Amino acid sequence: MSMHNSNQSPRRRAEGPRGVTILGSTGSIGVSTLDVLARHPDRFRVVALTANTQVERLLEQCRQHRPQCAVMRDRQAAGQLEVRLRESGLATEVLSGEEGLAMAAALQQSGIVVAAIVGAAGLMPTLAAVRHGKRVLLANKEPLVMSGHILMQEANRSGAELLPVDSEHNAIFQCLPGGYRAGVPSPGVRKILLTCSGGPFRTTPLAALTGVTPEQACAHPRWAMGRKISVDSATLMNKGLEVIEASRLFGIAPDQIEIVIHPQSVVHSLVSYADGSVLAQLGNPDMRTPIAHALAWPERIESGVRELDLIEVAQLDFERPDPQRFPCLRLATEAARAGGTMPAILNAANEVAVSAFLGGTIGFTDIPRVIEHVLSRVSMSEENELAVILADDARAREAAERFIVGHPGRLKRGVQ
């Protein structure tokens, strides 16, 4: 991936607005992306929007942004959307299912694809975008966690650009030297420091964690996010997955990545260099900053985010995460070191456990119990092809579900 060429920008503007597809447009990342795009109609145009089941929200987005194509992953929802679009007099084409998502990701009219579908469901459409040589803005970490090396291989083959939108990984990207290329180590980098707020339970007494409700776990102190990623942030599994993501995206060993709790969420991550320099990216906690950065890179554009006032912030605190409070972090680190399909197995077990917690089947502290059980029971494969990864993902989900169903009520009492 080449860095900025001063002749690129005028030529791109002369060609007209660049087409953008948003995979997962009704989620928080999708909504933030649309906000940034709307500020720059001369630079970007919305080509395709996709959602899972939220017909009304996607319909409203179609009315506002007039995409060429809209996709509902749920086929019944797609039928409802098509009827509502025709009633509104819109000519937007409606597609459905996994094939529809992959088609939207590959549309020739889109040069940029924002990959923001939560969980493993985002893997195949993200892979389709990479294979078609798009600039892919990675907002969901699961594709890199599950099959990072495949994405890198496909990007090298197609010329796709993989740019991180996760606030932490985008911060790292901004702090790296020129000449960034996904999966390739940057010279002189000693260590990456990934920051996190510590979530809603950073100071909660350990004994009280067993009674945590889904509503409490989703009440993140700094970021407005979907329910699944909010729970991951509360357990710090989100940060564990980010270790795997950073390792693959920046070509660095997991042991060179350090997690630092930073409650103010102003320093979004740091890069430590061999000469003793430590570079950090700072900003208000608003996802529109990394989205705008990746959309326009290597240029910078207005994002709508308020300028950071350091005098107002006044104080920046940093601390190490407590391994007793956050066992998911240890499990993720172990999976990262193991390599192969172990990260995919970890991710699958976590998705099932979080879903069970949000559904009231298990307690908050049962999430790491389920994951640890699966990691100890499901053997990993050497990660060499997509079919193997998907098969191990399925085995892990089955093992997690079997463990939860086989221990009704016992998990909430802390019995393994």
Q: Cα–Cα distance between 355 and 377 in angstroms, integer? A: 20
Short-list 151, 176, 148, CA closest to 297: 176
3-state secondary structure of 186: coil
Q: For 337-374, how does the pLDDT look when each residue is reduced to its tens digit (9 = 90+)?
A: 999 999 999 999 999 999 999 999 999 999 999 999 99
What is the share, in percent, of the chain residues with pLDDT greater than 90? Answer: 83
Q: What is the structure's pLDDT at 14?
A: 47
In the predicted model, is pLDDT for residue 269 greater than 80?
A: yes
Q: What is the structure's pLDDT at 227?
A: 87
Q: For 139-148, how does the pLDDT look when each residue is reduced to its tens digit (9 = 90+)?
A: 988 888 888 8
Ordered by where they begin, the domains of the chain are 8-165 (3.40.50.720), 339-403 (1.10.1740.10)
For residue 55 the two structure tokens come to 């017909």
Phi, psi of 188 (to 5 degrees): 85, -5
Short-list 194, 191, 196, CA closest to 277: 191
Q: What is the structure's pLDDT at 408?
A: 59
In the predicted model, is pLDDT for residue 264 greater than 80?
A: yes
Q: Which comes out higher in pLDDT, residue 28 or 413?
A: 28
Q: For 158-179, how does the pLDDT look when each residue is reduced to its tens digit (9 = 90+)?
A: 999 999 999 999 999 999 998 8
The arithmetic mean of pLDDT across residues 24-39, rounded, is 96
Residue in the structure block whose two tokens are 């942030």: 233
In the predicted model, is pLDDT for residue 330 greater than 90?
A: yes
Q: For 187-237, how does the pLDDT look when each residue is reduced to its tens digit (9 = 90+)?
A: 999 999 999 999 899 999 999 999 999 999 998 766 667 788 899 999 999
b or e along 232-250 (b: 16 or more beta carbons within 10 Å of the residue's beta carbon)?
bbbbbbbbbbbbbbbbbbb
Q: For 270-298, how does the pLDDT look when each residue is reduced to its tens digit (9 = 90+)?
A: 999 999 999 999 999 999 999 999 999 99
Q: What is the structure's pLDDT at 224?
A: 67
Q: Cα–Cα distance between 213 and 231 in angstroms, integer? A: 10
For residue 5 the two structure tokens come to 């060429």
Q: Say what the pTM is.
A: 0.88
Q: Cα–Cα distance between 41 and 35 in angstroms, integer? A: 11
Order of strands across the sheet that contains 69-72: 93-96, 69-72, 44-51, 18-23, 112-115, 135-138, 161-164
Short-list 217, 237, 220, 205, CA closest to 326: 237
Share the mean pLDDT of the chain: 91
